[in-house]
Amino acid sequence: MSEFVFLYRITEASRRDAMGTPERAQQSMQRWLAWMQQLESKGHLKDRGQPLELGGKVVRGAQKTVTDGPYAEAKDLVAGFTIIQARDVNEAVELSHGCPILDGGGSVEVRPVMKMNP
């Protein structure tokens, strides 16, 4: 088993769209809960991870310049992450297919965790 990080990326538009009305938000939520539960019940969920605020600070360069961000320059933003266990990258990608973020114009970035002992 290898570990993978799912990075959830959304755009401002897809975020608003997922929200829509209270009823739509609730439906979207229920799809997420079902998906997470499925990952968990099949033993793929290593760590639920954390949701991230979209705003924050970016610190850059030797000057340590601080800017508000990262939204100014990015067209999509990391909104959270989850750590998954899967046989290989193909299975991890397969697992990401059920992610409700895909219905709303967002994306899942599937990144293998580098192994300590190669």
Partner 1 sequence: MDLNEHLFRHESSRMVAALTRIFGVHNLALAEDVVQDAFCRALEVWKVRGVPENPSAWLMLTAKNRAIDIVRRERTARTFAPELGRALDAEWAIASVVDEAFAAHTIRDGQLRMMFSCCHPQLKEEVQVALVLNILCGFGAHEVASAFLAGRAAIEKRIARGKKTLAGAKRLFDLADDEFIARLSAVRRALYLLFNEGYHGASAESAVRVELCREAIRLTLLLLDYPPAATPETHALAALMCLHAARLPARVDASGDLNPLLDQDRSRWDAELTAQGLAYLDRSATGRDLTAYHVEAGIAATHAAAPSVADTDWSSIVWLYDRLMAIAGSPIVALNRAIAIGERDGPARGLEELRAIADRDRLDRYPFYPAAMGELELRRGNRDAAREHFSAALALARNPNERRFLTKRLDTCKLS
Residues that bind partner 1 (CB under 8 A): 15, 18-26, 28-30, 32-33, 36, 48-51, 79-80, 82, 100
The burial of 15, by beta-carbon neighbours within 10 Å (0-12 exposed, 13-18 middle, 19 or more buried), is given as middle
Question: Looking at beta carbons only, is 12 or 88 nearer to partner 1?
Answer: 12
Q: How far apart are CA 26 and CA 3, in angstroms?
A: 30
Question: Looking at beta carbons only, is 59 or 113 nearer to partner 1?
Answer: 113
Question: Looking at beta carbons only, is 47 or 88 nearer to partner 1?
Answer: 47
Q: How far apart are CA 86 and CA 93, in angstroms?
A: 9
Shortest Cβ distance from residue 62 to partner 1 (Å)? 34
Question: Looking at beta carbons only, is 6 or 92 nearer to partner 1?
Answer: 6
Shortest Cβ distance from residue 52 to partner 1 (Å)? 8
Shortest Cβ distance from residue 30 to partner 1 (Å)? 7
Q: How far apart are CA 30 and CA 14, in angstroms?
A: 17
Shortest Cβ distance from residue 66 to partner 1 (Å)? 22
Cα–Cα nearest to 8, from 60, 77, 55, 97: 77
How many residues in the chain?
118
